[in-house]
Structure 1
Amino acid sequence: MLSTRLLTTSFGVESFAVYAVVVSILASLPFADLGLGAGVVNATSDFHGGRIDRGALQTVLRTTVSALSIVSCVLIACAAGLFASGSWPSLLAIPSMGMGDSFAASFSLACVAASIPLGLGTRIYQGLQRTQTATALTFVGVGVQVATLGVVFLFHLPAWTYAIGPALALLLTNAFTMILALRAIGIATGQIFVPSRTIDLGQYGFSKSAIPYLITLLGVTLTLQMQRIFLSHASTPDEVASFSFAAQFSVAITSVVTLSSINLWPKFRDLQSAGALSQSTILRFVRMYTVVGVAFGAISATAAYCLAAFVTNGSVVVSLVTAATSGLSIFAWSVTRPAVMFLNSPSGFWLQAAWALPCAVTAVILTLTLGATMGAAGAFLASSIAVFTFTFAPLTIHSLRQIRRPR
């Protein structure tokens, strides 16, 4: 929010739009772990529940870190190549991007790359049913961003330097979280960051969970987190800025809803293993997250609509329709949480992957079409329609049917 104020008042709305699109690169982190994070959550949950020992968990972690380190190196090379070739302006559909903006984009992608294996710390906490700890550790990133922003502002650095803070915050937060998560499960850091001689993850491997989870995360990223880039192709910088301002609230609240629901993953897994999970349990959580979605959606929409003029000094306008549809997107995402957290078995992951593809395709097509006519509101509406149609309805129905019959 502070970055928004400084950028819009000092550099104008177009600089803020460029900043917002560059920072959206950080949203690529969730699917960059090849879906192996799902296996780590399940392995940690099984360790926490006494179904596997510490040695087995350590093997899963070491193998996963080795595989993801290779991905990190490839992405860092891609970041360097995109900067050297000057490809960022075409890729992000922002012809006005300068050399500094391109450097910020490559730096952001490099930080995402380096954060991939370190991001497993959050997955470990999820498996331990301690998501609140991982959430609290995000304040490390807030501190880094504030410190970086202070340096940029005091020394009157150019607009592109504002994007350095979020990228650096992501990297340092994941590193700190990983160190503490390993301590929580009693495994030394040096035992994990050692090259593994095998890529066999057994029941937590690629075909069991990683591939379908990767497809699902890619679908979610295209549906919800990359819309600024799609909107920049379909609409104007003013609409991108409007969307980005409203998204500061909707994305933050969606993250809170997601983190609060992740504890349901190991909880449902334990209840299912004990034969104690019923349809009424799922429906109870659906009702709860319906209320959460309505309440948080209303708060987000109100904040975006009322604060835009004040924070940006009138540079960015968030219409009532844009604010309302941003709240609708939170509601749509919230009601999916119980079913998504229940479907954590290999077959459940594949089912989510199957529905994630039409969800993503629909969201992208609708963002490009509705974004061209409705601007920012069209992008929010596109994701809401896609999530309701291809995630909430089919996954909730399947979850209730699956609980009714033996697994």
Structure 2
Amino acid sequence: MRSAGARVLVLPISGVCSLATTAVAIDYGGIDSYAAISVVLAIALLLPFADLGLGAGVINAYSDGRGPDDRRDLLASTVRLLVLSASLLVVAAILVSVFVSWSRLFGFSEEPPTPSGIEGAIVLAVVIFAISVPLGVGQRILIGIGKNHYVVFAGAITSVVTLLVVVVVSVAGLPSAFMAVAAAVGVLVSSLVMLRLAWSSIDLRFADLIDRRRRARGVLSLGAYMLCVSCFLAILFQSGRLIISHLCDDYQLASYSIAMQLYLPAVSILGSAGFALWPMFAGRRGRASTGGVSQVSFTKLVGIMVALGSAGCIALVFVLPLVSRVVSGHSVDPPLSLGLGVGALLVAQSAQVVPGMYLTDLAGMRFQAVCAILAATSAVLLGVYVAGPFGATGVVFATAAAVFLFQAAPSTVRMWLRERSLRYGPSSGALNVDLSLTSKGGK
């Protein structure tokens, strides 16, 4: 698929930038400082609920054959809600800082080696990220119109800008806490670029945003379930940092953070390929209620994704120790078990890609919401239980087990059962699409 190919092309850029960011941050502030900053660098991943799940509706609207007026109404409603969400996010960031303290929430100590000024840096990172929230409609539109490869290329800007911000902070001799805003700045710049790329497909004027007649019915129905999925997936995949931050030492947190620097580019390849399938599945739902992909094609697609995940798992196991020593100056040497745990998580997520993109209608998203709640809850509970005796390795394996047992397995069964009912039920007559056609759909 073109999206996956694009991701492979930009992967070296993103990977080198991510590792260089880690090396500069560790060299400038030390391991303990980097451990604290790495938690804040993931602030954008911790707050996907700011999207309110509305991105799913935008993708479906631009891929299922709706008319221009319907798309304009939905887009106007979506942007208004996202601006409101961003405003509330800024207010919440300030209130938490004043009355609770973000440092305490993230488990940072009030004494060195925690970087000075980290509290203000966290607030600034949230504010910058909030500005990018309504701009994110550009990314969803590009996915909906089948240009996910544009998203992949533009997304590479995030890691480049993140590195540039970190380098500027170190060269200028600023407090290392300022590095915490790097990722948020990268997301903002990337969102602006994707919005510009999608601009020709946005038939929306400023007057439409303030026109109350421009309102899409049920805009929050699908969004509510997508919001639930986003929130609990954030807990599922990002709670590990917080658990390790609270229950383990800084060495474990640094090891985990470096492992994630390798894991995220690898899983992004799977995500890029998966997002290319979303508009294809949504388009078939829009063109014909009996449309679908045969079970054989689904089996092959899932097999391909799992094979890619397995290849990534093997690579991670061999590369992680070498990369950790290089970027940390031999200060961090993660055990083999951590590489195996991250690899197992990658394989589990690869099995979830196809069913996750197929189950994106209202009923499917409702099912995914239930799975996400169960997976996140089990991952947190098990992670807290194993963090003490097994450290970062135990937390990663707990997440991998939760993804497979409560997401990948039930979603795959649900997908196959739905296709079986389409082919053999009253509405049988599903379109039989082989792998050659699905590959074209991702181009």
TM-score (norm: length of structure 2): 0.86
Equivalent-residue separation in structure 2 for 1:306 and 1:243 (angstroms): 15
Contact 1:339 1:399 in 2 (8 A): yes
2:44 to 20, 23, 26: 26
Alignment match, 2:272: 259
CA distance in 2, matches of 1:26, 1:317: 27
Q: Secondary structure at the match of 2:117?
A: helix
- Please show how residues 315-354 of structure 1 align to structure 2 within 5 Å: 315-354=331-370
CA contact (8 A) 1:271 1:277 kept: no
What secondary structure is seen at the aligned counterpart in 2 of 1:112? Answer: helix
Within 5 A, what are the aligned runs for 1:28-47?
28-46=46-64
Identical residues among aligned pairs (%): 27
> Does 2:378 correspond to 1:362?
yes
Change (3 A) 1:122 1:226: farther
Shift of 1:144: 2.2
The residue matched to 2:334 in structure 1 has which SS? Answer: coil
How far the C-alpha of 1:315 sits from its partner, in A, is 1.7
Which residue number corresponds to residue 116 of structure 1?
Answer: 133
Once the two structures are superposed, the pairs formed by residues 99-248 of structure 1 within 5 Å of their partners are 99-183=116-200, 185-187=201-203, 190=206, 194-197=209-212, 200-202=215-217, 205-207=219-221, 209-248=222-261
Unaligned runs of 5+ in 2: 1-18, 428-443
Post-superposition offset of 1:139:
2.7
Between the aligned partners of 2:77 and 2:304, the Cα distance in structure 1 is 38
Show the 5 A alignment for 1:80-91: 80-85=94-99, 87-91=101-105
Amino acid of the residue matched to residue 20 of structure 2? L
Aligned to 1:162, what secondary structure does the other structure show?
Answer: helix
- Displacement of 1:188 in angstroms is 5.2
Q: Which amino acid aligns with 2:78?
A: T
1:311 aligns with 2:324: no
The gaps in structure 1 that reach 5 residues or longer are none
Deviation of 1:252 (Å): 2.1
Q: 1:398 to 1:240 in 2, by over 3 A?
A: same
Superposed CA offset, 1:368-403 (max 9, x none): 111222111112101100010001111101110111
The structural deviation recorded for 1:213 is 0.9
Residue 387 (structure 2) aligns with: 371
Paired with 2:214 and 2:385, the residues of 1 have a C-alpha distance of 43
The residue type equivalent to 1:239 in the other structure is: Q
More off after superposition, 156-165 vs 11-20: 156-165
Alignment equivalent of 1:299, drawn from 315, 319, 322: 315
CA contact (8 A) 1:219 1:356 kept: yes
Structure 2: how far apart are the matches of 1:10 and 1:134? 32
Residues 350, 376 of structure 1: alpha-carbon distance in 2 compared, 3 angstrom cutoff:
same
Counterparts of 1:199 and 1:349, CA distance in 2 = 25
Residue 396 (structure 2) aligns with: 380
Equivalenced residues, count: 399
Shift of 1:149: 2.6
User: 1:197–1:295: structure 2 CA closer, same or farther, 3 Å change rule?
Assistant: same
Report the CA distance between 1:100 and its aligned residue. Answer: 1.2
Post-superposition CA distance 1:118-155 (Å, at most 9, x none)? 11211111111211101101233233223323321222
SS of the aligned residue for 1:187 comes to coil
Indicate the SS of the match to 2:198.
helix
Distance 1:157 1:71 in 2: 32
Aligned residue type for 2:156: F
Does the Cα contact within 8 Å between 2:292 and 2:419 map onto a contact in 1? no
Q: CA-atom RMSD, angstroms?
A: 1.9
Does 86-95 or 4-13 show the bigger shift? 4-13
Equivalent residue number for residue 68 of structure 2:
54
Which amino acid in the other structure matches residue 342 of structure 1?
A: Y
Judge conservation of contact 2:341–2:393 (CA < 8 Å) in 1.
yes
Decide whether the 8 Å contact of 2:21 with 2:163 is kept in 1: no
